[in-house]
Amino acid sequence: MFREVKHLKVCLTLITLLLSLLAAASQVEAGPISRLTKLYHCEPFFKAEYDKTTLEDPITPLTEPRAIPIRISCMINGLFADIVADTYSSYEVPLFVNLYVEETPEWCTATVTPPLIYMPISSTWHSENATVFLTLKENAPAFEQAKIKIRIRSDSVGKRVIVPEGNTTLDIPFRTGYIPIISLSVPEGNYKIISPYDTARFKIDVENLGNEKTELTSYALNVPDGWTVTITSNTVLDSKARGGNPKKSIELDVKPPYGFGYHEDRQVIQISITPSYYNDPTLKGEEHILSFIVLSRGFSTPGFETLFTILTFIGIVLINKRRRQR
């Protein structure tokens, strides 16, 4: 008995749909078919959620796209939702659901795959999966709370719109991370020939390619016996992502030993430069090691100049003394 009643309802629905296709719109609006269409009208409802575990860690620029699984669930609701669902299911008519990114920060790129999913028209919840891929550009500021908005929209079904368009959104919040990346160059070269009494001076140009204020820690890895190496230990660079000047120069001075005789001293000085976040030195980047070659060549006479100066002074004093005695 129940099955016969159900078949009867399905037949009535098919008749209604057939009449709605054959009737002209201007003639039906006030007619009985319009009332039947409204009677079988079913609203689509959506639920959308994302995998929060994939966003527990911050997203950093210049890395692989972050894949965020999302789950879309849909059902129709109405007085005769079961009949409408059975009717469309028997003809394998799906619900076309469009997925696209509606809002993102300007320094972010996001896509949804697939952009179109097919869902059965059902009076109970049915779910399908998709994936959002999120990438940050190099100018994305660090430690920001941001979000993207995904639009979920289904097409209407039926010429008389038995199932109207569905529409909802999914907000996906995320945090941006810090990237300690720097660029180093030695515009004047890393090799110098100097006299034993001179100082080799090197200029190291540094640029902050990261997305937040960065501090550079610099020191000499090796100092040969008798040599003196001086370098600025701490250098602070602003971030271009924050609108600051990310470039500066570091001065390195290398002084060879000064002893009597001819010198042909060649040494390799290694310098370590490590970037870290200005407000948290534990957030460190890769250590950069630069090598500089200094050749101290020439003859030195330590003490001779001093002795000559002293003798000259004594001579002047004696000459003045003799003049006074006369």
CA distance 67 to 60: 13
The mean pLDDT value for 51-77 works out to: 96
For 152, other C-beta atoms within 10 Å of its C-beta total: 23
Q: What is the DSSP letter of 317?
A: H
Q: Which domains does the chain have, with CATH numbers?
A: 43-175 (2.60.40.10), 182-305 (2.60.40.10)
pLDDT over 80 at 318, yes or no? no
Cα gap 310→166, rounded to integer Å: 100
pLDDT winner (highest mean) among 2-11, 77-86, 253-262 = 77-86
Output the pTM of the full model: 0.72
Show the tokens assigned to 240. 């271009």
pLDDT at residue 6 greater than cutoff 70: no
**Residue pair 104/77 in contact by the 8 Å Cβ criterion:** no
Which residue(s) pair with 6 in the sheet? none
Provide the pLDDT for residue 64: 94
Output phi, psi for 282, to 5 deg.
-75, -20
For residue 272, give both structure tokens: 């370590």
| The two three-digit tokens of residue 158, written as one number | 């039926």
pLDDT tens, 229-287? 999 999 999 999 888 999 999 999 999 987 766 767 899 999 999 999 999 999 999 99
**What integer pLDDT is reported at residue 40 of this predicted model?**
82
Instruction: Record the tokens describing residue 38, joined without a space.
Output: 């409204």
Which distant-in-sequence residues (6+ apart) come within 8 Å of 251 by Cβ? 201, 202, 203, 204, 231, 232
Q: What is the mean pLDDT of residues 84-103?
A: 92
- Report the run of H or E that residue 321 belongs to, with start and end: helix 304-325
Distance of CA 137 to the CA centre of its chain: 5
- Average predicted confidence (pLDDT) for the chain: 86
